[in-house]
Structure 1
Amino acid sequence: MTDELISVKTVGVLTSGGDSPGMNAAIRAVVRTCSQAGLKIYGITHGYFGLINDEIDEMDTHSVSNIIQRGGTMLKTARSEEFRTEEGRAKAAKNLKKYDIDALITIGGDGTFTGANKFSQEHKINVVGIPATIDNDIIGTDETIGYDSALNTALEAIDKIRDTADAHERMFLVEVMGRDTGFIALETGIASGAELALLPEELTHVEDVKRQLHEMLKSQRRSSLVIVAEGDETGGAIKLAENIKDDFAQYDTRVCILGHIQRGGAPSARDRVLASRLGAAAVRVLQEGHSGVMVGVVNNAIKITPMRVAVSKKKEIDHTLIDLAKVLR
């Protein structure tokens, strides 16, 4: 975060890393807020890859018409190994200077912010980040853009799986996204009434899973639904199914991996509003002289967090919700 006022005249915006519903709403807010403030705005296609390869085009209010309801990102996204190198970042900085871009707004997760922070320090580029990831694992904001949409997409699918599980008296192991964090698994577990939700944050022993499922069968339940985060200790839903199927021969154990369906689709109203607030806030924060920060919403108020802090550790899961899930199952 800088202490002196930065004069921002031209802004670049990009999306990087995994896509999440609401990224388009954030792009729209950035572009229209810049236009209203009299700032020139450029869109950078394919994230840092496009920044290195000069995929940079000027945008205006018409460029972002009719995108707020669309999933994915109109600016596309891509991984860039070259941007991890000093030479790659030097190319990116040269392209920004070519268009007189003096500030960059990056929309993405911790990998996006790590790259942006290093880029800013090396080349004195003014940078502000907007947190967008379905994992909801960024500190400095109560929710990240895309989390609410992914949660509701997963829940809709899980509710339908529950119907067929009951009809056939089956055990379903449903794997949701969350390699390092269990936010989606925990909240969909509670909202769907699942018997178990297995998270990366809690050490999971297969024998404990078997014991808990046996206890539930004693209550004469007709079906069982287990939500598994992809990064859980058991090795995911497929590995777990292999380890428990012989102990539950009376059930037709099935695995359903929701996968990238959680990333797609129209963003929820909550995500559209969140993305709009954060997009507009990112522009204001740049105008106020801040750089190297991320904008978030905490207790319904805009908050800025240094990027180095935002990427220093993962957001902790709410352990009161873990306790609640155990009470309600």
Structure 2
Amino acid sequence: MLQRIGVLTSGGDSPGMNACIRAVVRKAVYHGLEVMGIKRGFNGFIEGDMVPLHLGSVADIIHRGGTILHTARSVQFLNPEGRARANENVKRFGIQGLVVIGGDGSFRGASIFNREYGLPVVGVPGTIDNDIPGTDQTIGFDTAVNTAVEAINKIRDTATSHERTFVIEVMGRNFGFIALAAGLAGGAETILIPERPFSYDEICERLMRGYRRGKLHSIIVVAEGAAGGLEVARKIKERTGFDTKVTILGHLQRGGTPTAADRILASCLGAKAVELLMAGETRKMVGIKAGKVVALDIEDALSQTRSIDLDMYSLAGILSI
């Protein structure tokens, strides 16, 4: 009978992870389960760095960014020796199920551990990149987009005042989800994403077209996986002579108070993860599809391809003429 579960956050942090931890703990306690908080991801799993989490442990954290359990990327867990040490701590602490809040690498590690040692695991997608297949949205994405949009709004004021072109580089690893959403919501004139090839000649012609009709400033949003913001700005200035400035938002997008949408998503997914463990499920991932919480096999989910909405990309181009 399930009595004690563990929860950890792994990989890059994202706003809403604390809300998810809170949901896991309170849902578990509500059903009479004990929860062990595993610190610093799989590193803490290996080192036995765990603490009991009670109702009071997760009070007043739903609004906080980051993760109270801290996070890390564990090289040791990639090795059989590291996973063997983790299994020793599973026995030592009496853990009978594990909730892993993180990205695809974290899920793969959890899946391997389940196959080797049989510990039931459930993954909750927490990453600002929104790049996990099997779910429409990941925890932290909405907050990251809103952070980027707020930056675009402020930079546009300066771009207008000084009649400049601004290149804003956003995160997203190898995907353009943040760039597309923030660019569309922020009214960017051009959006560069890795999923869509682009031409500097076309970008510059677009800028020149705007200039000829009296437009004296422009915002270009570029996903880090498509090109570097500094390189984009340099090539634009070489071709057009426009005064072009660069803002790289970087890790600014990973912090801050999570939006209401991310808090709700995190709460729903965290609670569902506990339900799955209680039902005897394992090697599952929870997600959101068409507004409904769903569960699917981790490996099936990760074998799928996450694709961007190119119709939205085309719409952004139309609206920025």
- After TM superposition, the score normalised by the length of structure 1 is 0.95
Distance 1:125 1:206 in 2: 51
Which residue number in structure 2 is paired with residue 196 of structure 1?
Answer: 190
Which residue number in structure 2 is paired with residue 58 of structure 1?
Answer: 52
Which residue number in structure 2 is paired with residue 3 of structure 1?
Answer: none
The answer to whether the 8 Å contact 2:134/2:302 transfers is no
**Which stretches of structure 1, 4 residues or more, deviate above 3 A after TM superposition?**
none
The answer to whether the 8 Å contact 1:110/1:310 transfers is no
The answer to whether 1:315 aligns with 2:306 is: yes
Which residue number in structure 2 is paired with residue 248 of structure 1?
Answer: 240
- After TM superposition, the score normalised by the length of structure 2 is 0.97
C-alpha displacement at 1:191, in angstroms? Answer: 0.8
Distance 1:130 1:326 in 2: 34
C-alpha displacement at 1:219, in angstroms? Answer: 2.3
Which residue number in structure 2 is paired with residue 102 of structure 1?
Answer: 96
Amino acid at match of 2:184: I
The answer to whether the 8 Å contact 2:134/2:304 transfers is no
The two structures, once aligned, show a CA RMSD in angstroms of: 1.0
Of 279, 286, 308, the match for 1:288: 279
Which residue number in structure 2 is paired with residue 8 of structure 1?
Answer: 2
Amino acid at match of 2:102: G
The answer to whether 1:231 aligns with 2:222 is: no
C-alpha displacement at 1:314, in angstroms? Answer: 4.2
Which residue number in structure 1 is paired with residue 70 of structure 2?
Answer: 76
SS in 2 for 1:311: helix
The answer to whether the 8 Å contact 2:124/2:269 transfers is yes
The runs of 5 or more residues in structure 2 that have no matched partner are none
Which residue number in structure 1 is paired with residue 36 of structure 2?
Answer: 42
The answer to whether 1:273 aligns with 2:264 is: yes
Aligned ranges 1:69-218 → 2 under 5 Å:
69-218=63-212
Amino acid at match of 2:229: A
Work out the percentage of aligned pairs sharing the same amino acid. Answer: 49
1:190-226 deviation line (CA, Å, top 9, x unaligned) = 1111110000111122223222222222222110110
Amino acid at match of 1:278: L
Larger displacement relative to structure 2 (212-221 or 238-247): 212-221
Distance 1:178 1:59 in 2: 32
Amino acid at match of 2:240: F
C-alpha displacement at 1:309, in angstroms? Answer: 1.9
1:210-250 deviation line (CA, Å, top 9, x unaligned) = 22222222222110110000010xx311111122212222x
Distance 1:202 1:297 in 2: 26
SS in 2 for 1:225: strand
